[in-house]
A and B are shown apart, each in its own frame.
Chain A
Amino acid sequence: MRCLKCRQFLKVVPSNFFESFRAPREKSRLATLKNKIMNFLTISEMKKLLSDKKITSEELVQEALKRIKEHDHEIGAFLHVAEDEALVEAREFDRRRAAGEDLPSLAGIPVAIKNNILVQGRKATAGSKILENYQATSDATVIKRLRTAGAIIIGETNMDEFAMGSSTENSAFFSTKNPWNNKKIPGGSSGGSIAAVAAGFVPAALGTDTGGSVRQPAALCGVVGLKPTYGRVSRYGAIALASSLDQIGACARTVDDVAEVFSVIAGNDDKDATAVEMDVVVPELIPNDIKGLRIGLPKEYFVEGMDPEVKKAVLEAVELLKTNGAEVKEISLPHTEYAIAVYYIIMPCEVGSNLARMDGIRFGHAVDGENLLATYLKARGEGFGAETKRRVMLGSFALSKGYSDAYYKKALRVRELIRRDFEEAFKQVDVIATPTSPTIAWNLGEKFEDPLAMYLSDIYTVSANLAGIPAMSLPCGFDEDLPIGLQLMAKPFDETCLFRVGKFYQSLTDWHLKQPKL
């Protein structure tokens, strides 16, 4: 079960795994439930079934494990699955529920975690060879909060190395495939978490979003993905990529579920000085109407380079909101065309600094060199993949003597202009609607050798990270049987507005109910 190099899930299942399904009682109950209520349950549905005593947490976990066993060898969403631990926790919640105890909001619900978020005692690889055998020393703050809320961490998911990538092809272990079509990429870098939700293995998962890494795969796999406001969620225990941009985000199949997970993980933390205390969103209180809501369409986003079908689906979604009471107006975000350039300077500079701790001295892939320098060079040269090396070098260059003013400081100033664009826009509108990705999911390998083409696929998502604002992607259509995502952005700390619009949109449409055939 711990084998990372082996992408065949069957080989990593412990020998007693199948025994549990052979117990006669479980078998008959699962057979009855199978395909009727078990598949693609949402958190809300699971909670209802659990509280009505129509299902047990153990059955939910068993079903998740079974689906993972049957299908994950084709998708590659998980790096590790913690069967035994998950089942023990599930049985404990079932016992407490049967005893009539009051249980927390997510009690007994299985969730998946991107493998750059520390789960105590489990491998935290961040998709990198250099951390292949690194064991997390403690739980990240978000994991502590999920555990307090009763969630069961069923396993850790695949990702682009250190969260650098838009396709999950940069994992040191294997590529994740899109559940809608296994010849296509799932998006990235949180491709494993998003694919696990899209494939119906788990109702929700956590990812991290530095430039779109939750939203873009959510769009390409047809689920809901949220990047909260910078400062909303503690990053303590998330392996840092670019510290002024990173946020931990949630994905699920409905806006309600995302809001529920978000309300659990949000809040201040002594261990992350950027995390601030703000009112927590109570999912039940989000109003189900959009009367008077002002939606902005930034003219700079609807230009060349976008698939016509993506444009059509996004504009239809906005039109639907308009016919239901929203006011729609064109707005301008004049510095949009510089966002990718700013992002691909600032992010590599911060990556270079953060990854300096990956030195092969204190943990991770270690090499015996003839001296200290040789030890660093070899450990990092062998332990890092191509995209990581590329970005670390880009960062070193942009921060090096003679170039830091022209590149790094220039980028910081343009970043401020991008933030001001949004500040101005939110004086006129409550929410900004755009595509999440300019295209649907592309073929595996298609952009792998062309980093600039890969970077340009982040064109609609990086601005929210640069400006520090919350943004969410939700399914709004299909092209060639692949999902299209609508991105909504709001002013800082107004996630509630995103949930309000998203929830209302999902009450009018059924895109989020469509399921891939595995």
Chain B
Amino acid sequence: MDLSQEDIKHIAKLSRLELQDEEVEKYRGHLTSILGYVDKLNKVDTSGVPEMVTGSVSNNVWRVDEPQVSDLGERDTVINSFPRKQGALLEVPAVFESRTE
């Protein structure tokens, strides 16, 4: 799998990462070599094999859907870590104002 610089820029945008120009070529090299290595998986016959999606047998875990009281100290710490806020509310950039895609 040979990736182009354009591929890397596309993947970086999907990943929400701003890359410097010199990073693009560096990651192109790294990702190409890693994908070259993982191509060996194509040698394995996996017909009829299920996908293993978790580290153990998964079961539904049930709980009663009841409101829980949160710790006020925890709440304050969460609010204090907001980069931008108005009072106790999180301030976010406009979502629909200037759509780019």
Main secondary structure of the interface of B (DSSP, over half): loop
Tell me if B67 is interfacial: C-beta within 8 Å of chain A: no
**B72-89 to A contact mask, C-beta < 8 Å, 1/0:** 001001101111100000
Contact B11 A341 (CB under 8 A): no
Interface: A135 (CB within 8 A): yes
A-chain residues with CB within 8 Å of residue B17 when the two chains form the complex: 377, 380-381, 384, 389, 392-393
B77 to chain A, nearest CB (A): 4
Kindly specify which of A7-15, A32-40, A408-416 makes contact with the partner chain: A408-416
Chain B contacts of A407 at CB under 8 A? 38, 41
Question: How far apart are the CA atoms of A331 and B40 in the complex, in Å?
Answer: 23
Contact A452 B37 (CB under 8 A): yes
Query: Are B41 and A414 neighbours in the complex by a CB distance under 8 Å?
Result: yes
- Please determine whether B56 and A229 come into contact, CB atoms closer than 8 angstroms: yes
Cβ of A8 to closest chain B Cβ, rounded Å = 27
Report whether B15 and A352 are in contact in the complex, using a CB–CB cutoff of 8 Å.
yes
The answer to whether A230 touches B80 (Cβ under 8 A) is no
Q: A135-B81, A372-B93, A394-B31 are in contact. Are A400 and B53 (CB under 8 A)?
A: no
Task: Annotate B60-101 by CB proximity to A: 1 below 8 A, 0 otherwise.
Answer: 010100000001001001101111100000101111011011
B53 and A244 form a contact (CB under 8 A): yes
Interface string of A340-358 (1 = CB under 8 A from B): 1110110000001000100
Measured in the bound complex, the distance between the Cα atoms of B34 and A344 in whole Å is 8
Q: How far is the CB of B58 from chain A (nearest CB, A)?
A: 8
A381 pairs with B18, CB closer than 8 A = yes
Q: Does A231 have its Cβ within 8 Å of any Cβ on chain B?
A: yes
Nearest residue, chain A, Cβ from B10: A400
B15, chain A: closest CB distance, angstroms: 4
Point out the residue from B34, B42, B55, B94 that lies within 8 Å of A394, measured CB to CB: B34
Q: Which residues of chain B are within 8 angstroms of A395 by Cβ–Cβ distance?
A: 15
Majority secondary structure of chain A interface residues (helix, strand, loop or mixed): helix
User: How far, in angstroms, from A355 to B18 measured CA to CA in the complex?
Assistant: 15
Residues of B within 8 A of A273 (CB): 61
User: Is A397 close to B, CB under 8 A?
Assistant: yes
A134 within 8 A of B: yes
Given A137-B74, A400-B11, residue A452 in contact with residue B33 (CB < 8 A) = yes
Of B49, B51, B56, B98, which one neighbours A371 at CB under 8 angstroms? Answer: B98
CA distance in complex: A340, B38 (Å): 8
* B93: chain A residues within 8 A (beta carbon): 361, 369, 371-372, 375
A421 to chain B, nearest CB (A): 12
Q: Please determine whether B16 and A390 come into contact, CB atoms closer than 8 angstroms.
A: no
Q: Which of A135, A137, A396, A455 contacts B14 (CB 8 A)?
A: A396
Cβ 8 A contact of A451, one of B34, B63, B81: B34
In the assembled complex, the Cα of A361 lies from the Cα of B93 at a distance in Å of 8
Taking CB atoms, residues of chain B closer than 8 Å to A359 are 16
Query: In whole angstroms, what is the CA distance A492 to B56 when docked?
Result: 9
For the complex formed, measure the closest distance between the CB of A356 and the CB atoms of chain B, giving whole angstroms.
8
A274 to B49, CA, bound (A): 23
Contacts of A411 in B (CB 8 A): 38, 41
CA distance A138 to B63 in the complex (A): 22
Distance, CA A381 to CA B97, complexed state (A): 23
Name 9 A/B residue pairs within 8 A (Cβ), A-sorted: A135-B81, A338-B40, A342-B41, A363-B83, A377-B18, A382-B18, A409-B51, A415-B51, A417-B44
A positions within 8 Å CB-CB of B: 121, 134-138, 229-231, 244-245, 247, 270, 273-274, 276, 335, 337-338, 340-342, 344-345, 352, 356, 359-364, 366, 369-373, 375-378, 380-382, 384, 386, 389-390, 392-397, 400, 407, 409-417, 419, 451-452, 455, 465, 468, 492
Closest 6 interchain pairs by CB? A230-B55, A381-B18, A366-B83, A412-B51, A413-B46, A468-B55
